[in-house]
Amino acid sequence: MTSTIDPTPDSTVGARVPAARRVTDVLQPRNVLLVGMLAIGLAAAGHWTGLLWGLLGALCAGLVPAGYIEWERGRGTWGDRHVVDRTKRAPIFFVILGSIGAGSVVMVLGHAPTGILVAMLALWAMTVVLLAVNTVWKISVDASVASAVVALLAAVHSPWWLLAYAMTAAVCWSRVALRYHTAAQVVAGASLGAATAGAFLLV
């Protein structure tokens, strides 16, 4: 049984969809992770070399999985990047886990700054939970990633980054407006993402 949103017509949906589509496309995980991991790497290293570690993190956590999704779309496996049928999402999670895991190994061997490595491991753990929950419920990955990046930036930079949760709220709104998720699913995803910052309390 798949988890879908009730397609009952709503007179306000037509007006919301164009804006929601723009928000969900601009703030999709690969874009949020690219900017976020670069910023985390810079803060963790304290100088420009951290950008290289951040780029590696963004590549493994966001760009490789996004590339895999595009490849499967080209093969006709999925209609678009959203993969609305949660029963077909497992391969994506395994690719993410493998990619983040490989990137983390490179970071360990390359003596990457602790902060960026902890962020990678936190994202890996978050993905494990997403995979487990997805087996029974369509938790929002987009909301989870948007929330995790803000929480991690607040942990390595400044609590002022928590103001960027306005971005996370926008992502959550867009996912519900487009009927990819329910309000409960985006709240659960955002809550899980916020919890990733807790990894920094252990180091």
The per-residue pLDDT for range 116-128, each reduced to its tens digit, is 999 999 999 999 9
The CA distance from 196 to 194, in Å, is 5
Q: CA dihedral in degrees (112, 128, 86, 21; nearest 10)?
A: -40
State residue 9's pLDDT score: 33
The CA distance from 123 to 120, in Å, is 5
Higher per-residue pLDDT: 153 or 13: 153
68 and 180 Cβ atoms separated by less than 8 Å: no
167-178 per-position pLDDT tens digit: 999 999 999 999
State residue 16's pLDDT score: 64
63 and 34 Cβ atoms separated by less than 8 Å: yes
The confidence band for 5, taking pLDDT boundaries of 50, 70 and 90, is very low
Instruction: Record the pTM.
Output: 0.88
Hey, where are the domains in the chain?
A: 15-198
Length of the chain as a residue count: 203
- Angle 90-109/49-58 helices, nearest 10 degrees? 160
Mean pLDDT for the stretch of residues 185-196: 95
Mean pLDDT for the stretch of residues 58-79: 90
**H-helix or E-strand spanning residue 135:** none
| Three-state secondary structure readout of 65-81 | HHHHHHHHHHCCCCCCC
202: which DSSP letter?
Answer: G
CB 202: neighbour CB atoms within 10 A?
Answer: 8
73-83 per-position pLDDT tens digit: 888 877 777 78
